[in-house]
Amino acid sequence: MTIKRALVSVSNKEGLLPFAEKLASHGVEIISTGGTKKALEEAGIPVIGISEVTGFPEIMDGRVKTLHPKIHGGLLAVRDNETHKQAMHENEIAPIDLVVVNLYPFKETIAKEDTTFSDAIENIDIGGPSMLRSAAKNHAYVTVVVDPKDYETVAGELESVGSVSEETRRRLAAKTFRHTAAYDALIAEYLTAAVEEEHPESFTVTFEKKQDLRYGENPHQKAAFYANPLAGSLSLTNAEQLHGKELSYNNINDADAALSIVKEFSDPAVVAVKHMNPCGVGTGSTVLEAYTRAFEADPVSIFGGIIASNTEIDAETAEKLAEIFLEIIIAPSFTDEALEILTKKKNIRLLKLDFTDGKGIAKKVTTVSGGMLVQDEDVYGLDDANVTIPTKRQPTEQEWKDLKLAWKVVKHVKSNAIVLAKDEMTVGVGAGQMNRVGAAKIAIEQAGERAKGSALGSDAFFPMDDTVEAAARAGVTAIIQPGGSIKDEDSIKKADEHGITMVFTGVRHFRH
């Protein structure tokens, strides 16, 4: 389709002037509005104001300017339909062959901390989406561009063949409907949150592609990484990669799991993750202490793992990290000396991430065949729980520290889950077992002698007293679990029999 007339109105003016110059050089008449018109005029590019076309002024602070039959008639007319042609002739409507529009910056507006509700509403574009949808619907005759990256394609086809191919018009139309759908989804998400609607009749969200991935969980699976455009800063999608190979699908999953655990802690903490489960968690007064404990928790499984630290990586810690093979290290920052040490390892990925924002409750979405499940992220902590101690013995100060660590970590271990903690580190992790005592046996076996005097955390209640019995034989002295089983009394009696203190939280932390 040849292009004789174009409507150009953009908030993102990247690449606008060179593209408009090429259109003008091909004899294309350009219609424009507001700031776009001013930019074209200042560049000496011939342009016609929208009011000259409609014969009607822009009114209501620019809210009404393009919603006019002479605009939408020019966009929607089927060019070889005699009735449409007659209507255009009778109403003096000229066809518009190209629409170059991108929308008011709604996403950027609501991302600002000081944005008011009225500011957000004012940045909902009406005319722009209407023109885009009209042009995209009529792409058999109209070319529509929403992304400056496509300027070169359209200009190239005009240069080479004097028109835009049907294939390109159709591809650009599909992109346009994705663009307007994403725009509307952001607005819907914002307004739904504003009225505190938790589970509306339809769930509209949008994600923007961050990168194509080499493959998914396995080489025969195609994959890509998408980001929530409104994600808080403490999200892997906002990480700055300082060094190393491109992230893989499994890297991203594991790194997200490590991040979700380490953000539980305010004191220096280091988390090591393998296959979505923590293999070692350590805390301390310094990042080196925390890493040393995370490493010693499981020096075998940490090999090839993901490390997340909530504290800057210094040179001394970097020296230790460089001694083993690691896939990724995530931290809020790295000293110059630490970077010099770690970047000597060619393949390690180093990710820098802002840890200041991550307290809000997000929605967790899980896909199932033909649908999806939506729930609040599990941010329930021990401070929120109604803690009771049904056993005869109360925890000591040290046992409380160990119990709190076990409870923070077990929440992030695949169910059924058992975690043993002692002296600011995990010493045993039992994950993803079909019965609870099986998870306990794995954690106890991993801990070995370190199980003596440790605290045991369970993600759910004990259906019978066999887990307490296994813990007692291993030398565990404190247990934290939700409680709520019809056989709680059996577990309490067993704990009292062995002098174990047991804490009930009333909160379950299943993780499937």
Location of structure tokens 């929403």: 146
Pairing relationship of beta strands 478-481 and 501-504 according to DSSP bridges: parallel
Question: Which position among 275, 345, 401, 498 bears the catalytic label?
Answer: 275
| Pairwise CA distance, residues 133 & 21, whole Å | 25
| Pairwise CA distance, residues 334 & 328, whole Å | 13
CB 296 within 8 A of CB 422: no
CB 483 within 8 A of CB 387: no
- Minimal CA–CA distance to 19: which of 5, 8, 32? 8
**275 included as an active-site residue:** yes
What does the chain come to in residues?
512
**210 included as an active-site residue:** no
| Pairwise CA distance, residues 471 & 33, whole Å | 74
Query: How far, CA to CA in Å, does 328 sit from each of 145, 213, 305?
Result: 39, 16, 7
| Pairwise CA distance, residues 231 & 223, whole Å | 21
Helix (H) or strand (E) holding 49: strand 48-49
Specify whether the backbone of 233 is left (phi greater than 0), alpha (psi in -120 to 50) or beta: alpha
Q: Residue 193 in 3-state DSSP?
A: helix
Q: In this structure, what token pair is assigned to residue 11?
A: 């908030």
Helix (H) or strand (E) holding 429: strand 425-430
Question: Which position among 137, 175, 320, 345 bears the catalytic label?
Answer: 137
Q: What angle do CA 250, 107, 155 make, to 5 degrees?
A: 85
Q: Tell me if the bond preceding 416 is cis, omega within 30° of 0.
A: yes
- Minimal CA–CA distance to 200: which of 192, 208, 211? 192
Hey, which residues are catalytic here? 137, 275
